[in-house]
Structure 1
């Protein structure tokens, strides 16, 4: 969900898709641009001499509608918030976890009961994760101002703050800001409180950012001083010499997002290669390339070898603050949030 290259321009996307079209036609992976990087599935390349074929989407709703309309792929990248909707629609078939080598090594804090426990059917295998927190210009914004998520309501930063144009990230922030740290079973009152908070923030915003490159530009030019950002913003802007801070320990906490792969029921490719691909994505050899791209790896056994300093530099280190994990939620709740978010962005 959160690599700069996922949301590249149309020309670059066309070039990338063209380069990928000559790959292994026995397996079609539906994905965000950027995840075709062979370093992310190197064991598959070593086994078959080439990457699988990739097709791309810009966001998960686009992917969902395309699949419902008859597009055929074998596996698809998806983030946890969408899993319930996709599984209930009938476009998925469960994974056979006995064929997934690292299944027992998955980070239990990332999987959650609705993902891998409590049911014989496992529709979602987590592979990559990251954090979402407050990115800010340390030369213009005192640290005490970002000690609370109410910085997004602070009139001192009117028209100098930004949120992602992403319903999951926006509501993760709003739930945290209003005291909810588990969104898997929110009450009507909690939903209304979060929605009201987002409406207040809307009036304080400069814009909603759509991809990390846009956010980086907004920060670099000084157009915005504070943003709700994915962790990749920290190493990216640090490398550019920008005075970037990444506050994950605001009083109310920060968020953790989680993505992975689902097995598409109408896939026409090789089922064996689908399992080889997911096994490759979970291989310890993939941990370092994912971290270099700004991702954590769901293989907890492999992640144990990563030093705390390296994790902190990537915005993934241990923290002492509440964390809202963006685990799957009931489809009715997600649809409700999506509809309300569109109203909020329209000024209603």
Structure 2
């Protein structure tokens, strides 16, 4: 869910018709969700605008939904970054559904852009992990504002084992021996937190202005090791595959899984057990004109079929407990997919109170 280079939103109008020749994978896992909200199924119709990551529009998952509800027209408007999404909604863009992550959810609530979700209308709600259903960040004043659909780790380190002996501490990433071999994720929050860990700060979200200046100086002193501040996961792993880079700082476990599939010995680690967890999901916008369909849409994406697909093919942590249990153990071991308990063991991705100061300092770090 954490994306790379921003692009202009792409609007794809999908008129839902009964399709034939669906892929075998889709038929096996997606056509028949475990439970169906029968009352909603009988009445759902009309138009639904989903303002979402591209993930929610892939044919393997989307086509079975269109087959199941032929009287519903879904218009997918795709965003490629959360700032882009937030700016467009603040600018007056109207939709029924949006797919935020936990760090941007408070902004949407504060701007009064969301309406509460009724779990009674979600037949798969009880199939989610209990810790996911009760995750504090998705609730406010007893009302649910986001149904989690995926989670995982971020701000870890992926490195080539044939080039780097080991990474056990965050300061190891900045070893002078790795001159021009380190990729740092171009994200102010994650980039500053990683340097804070290297400097042994215990509570990175509470950094003062003086602390931020110290981190800027730390980056200046270790600039020689940085090949690039990267934005695209694809670009980062290709640079590691080519041997131009040896270390990706700010990655999730999927990078090492991909590299291993290409025959490259790579390792993902959370130095000193420190990393950042992400949690993303679906919310209903106040501008929704089709509340029943909005709930059905959410219910479908937390059902077992789509959840299994995203876990097996995209390596996202599934919020549906039954989907998680069906994953082959070897897949979990190879890919680094984690259970939801990990979210309580790592730092949550949030906005620090002095975010504007963080952004300014990060711009200065990037500029060198």
1:240 corresponds to: 262
CA-CA distance at 1:274 after TM superposition: 0.9
**Could you say which structure has the larger radius of gyration?**
2
1:23 corresponds to: 15
Q: Secondary structure of 1:130's partner?
A: strand
| 1:238/1:321 CA distance change after superposition, 3 Å | same
Stretch of structure 1 that moved more, 201-210 or 211-220: 201-210
Unaligned runs of 5+ in 2: 17-45
Contact 1:164–1:170 (CA under 8 A) maintained in structure 2 = yes
* CA offset digits 1:176-224 (Å, max 9, x no partner): 54556777xx4345x8647744652462321111111111121122221
Unaligned runs of 5+ in 1: none
Alignment: residue pair count: 331
2:306 corresponds to: 286
RMSD value, Cα:
3.2
Residues 8-157 of structure 1 correspond to what in structure 2 (within 5 A)? 17=10, 20-24=12-16, 26-41=47-62, 44-49=65-70, 52-110=74-132, 113-117=135-139, 119-132=141-154, 133-143=156-166, 146-157=167-178
CA-CA distance at 1:100 after TM superposition: 2.2
| 1:129/1:321 CA distance change after superposition, 3 Å | closer
1:187 corresponds to: 206
* CA offset digits 1:32-75 (Å, max 9, x no partner): 22430143456633421478321111211111111111111111
Residues 249-328 of structure 1 correspond to what in structure 2 (within 5 A)? 250-268=271-289, 270-291=290-311, 292-317=313-338, 323-328=345-350
2:35 corresponds to: none
Stretch of structure 1 that moved more, 296-305 or 257-266: 296-305
- Give the TM-score, by structure 2 length: 0.78
| 1:321/1:95 CA distance change after superposition, 3 Å | closer
* CA offset digits 1:238-288 (Å, max 9, x no partner): 22222221123x2242332111112111234x2111111110110011222
Q: Secondary structure of 1:87's partner?
A: helix
